[in-house]
Amino acid sequence: MIYDYIVIGSGYGGLSAAALLVKQGFSVLILESHVAIGGCASFFKRKEFTFDVGATTLSGVLPHQPLGRLFEQINIKPNIEKLDPGMIIYQKNKKITRYSDKNKWINEASEKFNSEQKGFWDEIYNIESMSWQLIKQNYRMPPTKLSDLIHLAKPSNLRFIKLLPGLIRPVTDLLKKYDLDKNEDFVEFVDEQLLISTQTTSSLAPYLTSAIGLSYPSETYYPYGGIYKPLEMVLDYFKSAKGEIKFKEKVTNISETKEGYQLTTKKGSIYHSKGIVSNIPIWNMANITEGSIKKYFVSKSDKFKTAWGAFTMYFAIEDKMDLETAYYQIHSANPLPYCSGKSFFVSFSLRDDFKKSPKGWRTVTISAHTNTSEWENISEDEYNRRKEALEKEIFENFDNFFPQLKDAEKLYINAGTPNTFKFFTNRHKGYVGGIPHSIKRTLLQMPPNVTPFKNLYLVGDTVFPGQGLPSVVLGSLNIVDVITHRGI
């Protein structure tokens, strides 16, 4: 059989694209190397406990935003709850509450950082709102041919011209504009927030994309059962619409044929399609393609050589403390060993989420940015020593900021490094989070979703528009619009 499209990978990008393609009447097969869907937003179980592997928060679910548009188009209603506050940050001696209400948050930030913050946050929220409007009505970004440029130059886009400086100017410029650049505590706060959302800090992060990242705690949602649960509903829709998915089928080679493409898997299975939508990182694509396609991906990989890894911890804990939210960011007094900064992100399951843990317990996922090089080319003893040292440092901070939980029983304590992500997700070097946004390489210079090769398209966090579930799903929405207009 020759499928219209084979989708490689069943993360949010691949599965969203696959569901939208079958909705348009295309025959679609998903090839997934793992035993479960989700990729970096997957899960694992330990008896009656379910743990999110990496991503834990949902945002972008309003009707005009990517996940909201996806849910509406395939008519699903995930069990999610808006959190207010969306996040709590412990920084030095400050407890900073990210309220959902804009004015309440501005008052909080002004008080906690002893500075006037209204102008800065008004501009951040205004840029964020305009960005979603721009993105929604322009699916052909970044432009890859003349007709795309003509489309972007239409009169209805003229009002967005004011956003263009935000592609090449860093957040530091906005901080200076509002006399906040010398406020060391606030700059640290912004930098640690940006590492979560744009994978870089204020001196390099373009303020256009940073505005979306800095605004997201205003619309933070908790997915009951785990971050993969909404995606599970996408899979159910996909299968109900006659889509096919095959697990434990790692693609090892892609070659061109007269009809389109031939894909070979590690098992030796061979599949044929007229087109491909790849949800795997560009670095992986360079390793499984041939000829001119391989040269294209090697070129892109050489241009974007590095990304962050993650150190993660997982455990179940006795529910001995009332929590104000599910999500916390902890700033350590000192840089974390083998990590890129001072902070780590803590995600608790909600007290009434019995799909993740039984009554009286919660599950916890902790993540911190790390360089993959810290975990490469070292002995097994040194690898284990570094894991134990970082795990000890994180637990000491955790106990300090959650003293009521210090003596709570903990079960199934596990830690993961970039090596762990490489093993389970097959991502190159264990890179997670996508390509860092930077003024040195604007958003429009990121690898496009549309390649120069017929019916070969890309989604995921290493292509436009980048990292984060809303951006990944936006890429899928855009590429299906392109395919729908082009045909096959």
pTM higher than 0.85 for the full model? yes
Task: Say which range, 138-147, 231-240, 410-419, has the weakest mean pLDDT.
Answer: 138-147
Categorize the per-residue pLDDT at 436 as very low, low, confident or very high, splitting at 50, 70 and 90: confident
* Tokens 């721009």 belong to residue: 134
Q: Is the pLDDT of residue 69 over 60?
A: yes
Q: Is the pLDDT of residue 24 over 70?
A: yes
Q: Which two tokens stand for residue 474?
A: 């936006």
Task: Find residue 98's DSSP bridge partners.
Answer: 87
Q: Is the pLDDT of residue 395 over 60?
A: yes
* Tokens 């089928």 belong to residue: 249
* pLDDT value for 142: 65
* Tokens 């890179």 belong to residue: 431
Structure confidence by residue, pLDDT tens digits, 283-294? 999 999 999 999
Q: Is the pLDDT of residue 116 over 60?
A: yes
Structure confidence by residue, pLDDT tens digits, 127-171? 988 877 776 665 556 666 656 555 555 666 556 677 778 778 999
Domain ranges of the chain: 2-39+61-79+224-305+433-486, 102-219, 308-429
Mean pLDDT of the chain: 92
* Tokens 């509450």 belong to residue: 97
User: Rounded mean pLDDT of 396-402?
Assistant: 95
User: Rounded mean pLDDT of 382-389?
Assistant: 97
* pLDDT value for 92: 87
Structure confidence by residue, pLDDT tens digits, 31-55? 999 999 999 999 999 999 999 998 8
CATH of domain 2-39+61-79+224-305+433-486: 3.50.50.60
* Tokens 């219209």 belong to residue: 4
* pLDDT value for 147: 62
* pLDDT value for 355: 96
d(CA 472, CA 243): 21
* pLDDT value for 439: 84
* pLDDT value for 19: 98
Structure confidence by residue, pLDDT tens digits, 332-366? 988 899 998 889 999 999 999 999 999 999 999 99
* pLDDT value for 38: 94
Q: Which two tokens stand for residue 417?
A: 């490094």
Sign of CA dihedral 416, 420, 426, 429: positive
* pLDDT value for 305: 86
d(CA 105, CA 121): 9
Task: Find residue 222's DSSP bridge partners.
Answer: 81
Higher pLDDT, 330 or 341: 330
User: Rounded mean pLDDT of 90-100?
Assistant: 94
User: Rounded mean pLDDT of 172-184?
Assistant: 96
| Cα–Cα distance list, 469 to 48, 191, 449, 475 (Å) | 27, 20, 16, 10
User: Rounded mean pLDDT of 78-86?
Assistant: 97
Categorize the per-residue pLDDT at 64 as very low, low, confident or very high, splitting at 50, 70 and 90: confident
Q: Is the pLDDT of residue 460 over 70?
A: yes
